[in-house]
Chain A
Amino acid sequence: MSVDKATVEKIAKLARIKMGDEELERMAPELSNILDWVEQLGEVDTSGVEPMRAVIPNALRLRDDVIDADPKTAGGRRDDVLANAPAAEHGFFGVPKVIE
Chain B
Amino acid sequence: MTELTNLGIKAIRDGVAKGDFTAREVAEGFNAAVAEASALNAFIVATPDHALAAADAADAKRAKGEELGAMGGVPIGMKDLFATKGVQTSAASHILEGFTPQYESTVSSNLWAAGAGMLGKLNLDQFAMGSSNETSFFGNVSSPWRKHGTNAAMSPGGSSGGSSSAVAARIAPAATGTDTGGSIRQPAAFTGICGIKPTYGRCSRWGVVAFASSLDQAGPMARSVEDCAIMLGAMAGFDPKDSTSLKVDVPDWEAALSADLKGKKVGIPREYRMEGTDQAILDSWEQGKAWLKDAGAEIVDVSLPHTKYALPAYYIIAPAEASSNLARYDGVRYGLRDLPDGAGLQDMYAETRAAGFGDEVKRRILIGTYVLSAGFYDAYYNQAQKIRALVAQDFEKAWAECDLILAPTTPTASFPLGSLDADPLTMYLNDVFAVPASLAGLPAMSVPAMLNSDGLPLGLQLVGKAYDEQTVLDAGLAIQQRAGFDHPPEKWW
Residues of A near any B CB (own CB < 8 A):
3, 7-8, 11-19, 27, 30-31, 33-35, 37-38, 40-42, 44, 46, 49-56, 58, 60-61, 63, 70, 72-73, 77, 80-81, 83-87, 93, 95-98
Distance A73 CA – B385 CA, assembled complex (angstroms): 31
- Across the two chains, which residue of chain A brings its CB closest to B102? A80
Instruction: Tell me how far the C-beta of A59 lies from the nearest C-beta in chain B, rounded to whole angstroms.
Output: 10
| Given known A18-B354, A37-B312, contact A52–B366 (CB-CB < 8 A) | no
Contact among A3, A11, A51 for B389, CB-based, below 8 A? A51
- Across the two chains, which residue of chain A brings its CB closest to B429? A37
Most buried by B among A31, A37, A52, A85: A52
Contact among A31, A54, A63 for B363, CB-based, below 8 A? A31
Answer whether residue B392 sits at the interface, using C-beta atoms and an 8 A cutoff.
yes
Contact among A27, A73, A96 for B345, CB-based, below 8 A? A96
Q: Please tell me if the beta carbons of B103 and A80 are within 8 angstroms of each other in the complex.
A: yes
Residues of B near any A CB (own CB < 8 A):
98-103, 199-201, 214-215, 240-241, 243-244, 246-247, 306, 308-309, 312-313, 315-316, 323, 327, 330-337, 339, 343-351, 353-354, 357, 362-363, 365-367, 369-370, 373, 379-380, 382-390, 392, 423-425, 428, 439-441, 466
Q: Please tell me if the beta carbons of A16 and B344 are within 8 angstroms of each other in the complex.
A: no
Beyond A38-B380, A50-B386, A86-B336, list 18 extra A-B contacts (CB 8 Å). Answer: A15-B365, A15-B366, A16-B327, A16-B330, A27-B363, A38-B315, A44-B306, A44-B387, A51-B382, A52-B385, A56-B200, A56-B466, A61-B243, A63-B240, A84-B98, A84-B102, A86-B331, A86-B335
Residues of chain B lying within 8 A (CB to CB) of residue A13: 350
Residues of chain A lying within 8 A (CB to CB) of residue B383: 41-42, 44, 46
Q: Please tell me if the beta carbons of A14 and B369 are within 8 angstroms of each other in the complex.
A: yes
Residues of chain A lying within 8 A (CB to CB) of residue B347: 18
Q: Please tell me if the beta carbons of B312 and A31 are within 8 angstroms of each other in the complex.
A: no
Residues of chain A lying within 8 A (CB to CB) of residue B379: 42
Instruction: Tell me how far the C-beta of B435 lies from the nearest C-beta in chain A, rounded to whole angstroms.
Output: 13
The 5 closest A-B pairs by CB, nearest first: A51-B385, A55-B441, A86-B337, A84-B334, A80-B102
Most buried by B among A11, A44, A55, A63: A55
Q: Please tell me if the beta carbons of B312 and A40 are within 8 angstroms of each other in the complex.
A: yes
- Across the two chains, which residue of chain B brings its CB closest to A98? B345
- Across the two chains, which residue of chain A brings its CB closest to B361? A17
Distance A96 CA – B349 CA, assembled complex (angstroms): 11
Residues of chain B lying within 8 A (CB to CB) of residue A95: 332, 345, 348
Q: Please tell me if the beta carbons of B366 and A31 are within 8 angstroms of each other in the complex.
A: yes
| Given known A19-B354, A83-B100, A95-B345, contact A70–B241 (CB-CB < 8 A) | yes
Distance A42 CA – B199 CA, assembled complex (angstroms): 29
Q: Please tell me if the beta carbons of B240 and A61 are within 8 angstroms of each other in the complex.
A: yes
| Given known A34-B425, A50-B389, contact A17–B354 (CB-CB < 8 A) | yes
Q: Please tell me if the beta carbons of A16 and B243 are within 8 angstroms of each other in the complex.
A: no
Q: Please tell me if the beta carbons of B241 and A72 are within 8 angstroms of each other in the complex.
A: yes
Residues of chain B lying within 8 A (CB to CB) of residue A16: 327, 330, 346, 349-350, 353
| Given known A33-B425, A96-B348, contact A41–B384 (CB-CB < 8 A) | yes
**Listed A/B pairs (16) with beta-carbon separation below 8 Å:** A16-B349, A27-B362, A31-B363, A34-B424, A35-B370, A40-B309, A41-B384, A53-B385, A55-B215, A56-B244, A72-B241, A77-B102, A81-B102, A81-B333, A86-B337, A93-B332
Q: Please tell me if the beta carbons of A58 and B244 are within 8 angstroms of each other in the complex.
A: yes
| Given known A11-B370, A38-B316, A83-B100, contact A56–B345 (CB-CB < 8 A) | no
Instruction: Tell me how far the C-beta of B469 lies from the nearest C-beta in chain A, rounded to whole angstroms.
Output: 13
Q: Please tell me if the beta carbons of A46 and B200 are within 8 angstroms of each other in the complex.
A: no
Instruction: Tell me how far the C-beta of B434 lies from the nearest C-beta in chain A, rounded to whole angstroms.
Output: 15
Q: Please tell me if the beta carbons of A84 and B466 are within 8 angstroms of each other in the complex.
A: no
Residues of chain B lying within 8 A (CB to CB) of residue A7: 370
Distance A27 CA – B369 CA, assembled complex (angstroms): 14
Distance A49 CA – B331 CA, assembled complex (angstroms): 41
Instruction: Tell me how far the C-beta of A48 lies from the nearest C-beta in chain B, rounded to whole angstroms.
Output: 9
Residues of chain A lying within 8 A (CB to CB) of residue B215: 55
Instruction: Tell me how far the C-beta of B127 lies from the nearest C-beta in chain A, rounded to whole angstroms.
Output: 14
Q: Please tell me if the beta carbons of A93 and B349 are within 8 angstroms of each other in the complex.
A: no
Q: Please tell me if the beta carbons of B370 and A3 are within 8 angstroms of each other in the complex.
A: yes
Instruction: Tell me how far the C-beta of B7 lies from the nearest C-beta in chain A, rounded to whole angstroms.
Output: 34
Residues of chain A lying within 8 A (CB to CB) of residue B244: 54, 56, 58
| Given known A30-B363, A60-B243, contact A55–B353 (CB-CB < 8 A) | no
Distance A46 CA – B382 CA, assembled complex (angstroms): 10
Instruction: Tell me how far the C-beta of B86 lies from the nearest C-beta in chain A, rounded to whole angstroms.
Output: 10
Q: Please tell me if the beta carbons of B367 and A34 are within 8 angstroms of each other in the complex.
A: yes
Contact among A30, A46, A70 for B424, CB-based, below 8 A? A30
Distance A7 CA – B247 CA, assembled complex (angstroms): 44
Residues of chain A lying within 8 A (CB to CB) of residue B466: 56
